[in-house]
Amino acid sequence: MNTVATRMMISPPKYVQGAGAMQQLGEHLSCLGENAVVLADSGVWGFVDEAVTASLSAAGVKLTKETFGGLCTQSEIDRITAAAKAAGADVVVGIGGGTAIDTAKAVGHACGDIAVVSAPTVASTDAPTSALAVIYTEEGAFERYSFFTRNPNLVLVDTALVAGAPSRFIVSGMGDALATWYEARVCVAANRTAMAGGLATGASLSLARLCWETLMEYGPQARLAAEQHVVTPALEKITEANTLLSGLGFESCGLAAAHGIHNGLTVSHRVHGMMHGEKVNIGTLAQLVMEGSSTDELETYLRFSREVGLPTTLAEIGLADADREELLAIGRASTADGETTHNMPFPVTADMVADALIAGDAYARAFAKKHP
Cβ 182 to Zn ion shortest distance, Å:
12
Cβ 149 to Zn ion shortest distance, Å:
21
Cβ 165 to Zn ion shortest distance, Å:
18
- Binding to Zn ion by CB under 5 A, coded x per residue (else -) over 124-163, reads ----------------------------------------
- Angstrom distance (rounded) from CA 319 to CA 326: 9
Cβ 127 to Zn ion shortest distance, Å:
7
- Binding to Zn ion by CB under 5 A, coded x per residue (else -) over 224-263, reads ----------------------------------------
Cβ 361 to Zn ion shortest distance, Å:
21
Q: Which residues are catalytic?
A: 176, 259, 262, 276
Q: For the CA atoms of 328, 330, 333, 339, what is the dihedral angle to 10 degrees?
A: -110
Stretch that binds Zn ion, among 102-110, 139-147, 175-183, 228-236 (CB under 5 A): 175-183
Decide whether 66 or 176 has the Cβ nearer to Zn ion.
Answer: 176
Decide whether 279 or 342 has the Cβ nearer to Zn ion.
Answer: 279
Decide whether 28 or 185 has the Cβ nearer to Zn ion.
Answer: 185
Which residue type sits at 99?
A: T
- The residue among 334, 348, 313, 16 whose CA lies nearest residue 152 is 16
- Binding to Zn ion by CB under 5 A, coded x per residue (else -) over 42-81, reads ----------------------------------------
Decide whether 17 or 125 has the Cβ nearer to Zn ion.
Answer: 125
Q: Which residue is nearest to Zn ion (CB)?
A: 176
- Angstrom distance (rounded) from CA 317 to CA 335: 20
Stretch that binds Zn ion, among 135-143, 171-179, 267-275, 330-338 (CB under 5 A): 171-179
- Angstrom distance (rounded) from CA 352 to CA 358: 10
Stretch that binds Zn ion, among 23-31, 89-97, 110-118, 168-176 (CB under 5 A): 168-176
Please report whether residue 41 would count as binding Zn ion according to CB under 5 A: no
Decide whether 177 or 353 has the Cβ nearer to Zn ion.
Answer: 177
Q: Which whole-number Å values give the CA distances from 168 to 125, 159, 248, in the listed order?
A: 12, 15, 23
The answer to whether residues 90 and 153 touch, using CB atoms and an 8 Å cutoff, is no
Decide whether 176 or 361 has the Cβ nearer to Zn ion.
Answer: 176
- Angstrom distance (rounded) from CA 266 to CA 341: 15
Per-residue DSSP letters for 267-280? TSGGGTTS-HHHHH
Cβ 257 to Zn ion shortest distance, Å:
13
- Angstrom distance (rounded) from CA 166 to CA 83: 31
The Cβ-side half-sphere exposure at 83, using a 13 Å CA radius, reads 19
Q: What is the CA radius of gyration of the chain?
A: 20
The Cβ-side half-sphere exposure at 98, using a 13 Å CA radius, reads 23
Single residue of 41, 102, 176, 339 touching Zn ion by CB under 5 A: 176
Tell me the backbone φ, ψ of residue 69, rounded to 5 degrees: -75, -15
- The residue among 142, 80, 87 whose CA lies nearest residue 109 is 80
Q: Which whole-number Å values give the CA distances from 222 to 20, 156, 172, 225, 226, in the listed order?
A: 18, 20, 12, 5, 6
N-to-C CA span, the chain: 57
Decide whether 176 or 251 has the Cβ nearer to Zn ion.
Answer: 176
Cβ 263 to Zn ion shortest distance, Å:
10
- Angstrom distance (rounded) from CA 184 to CA 344: 10
Residues that bind Zn ion (CB under 5 A): 176
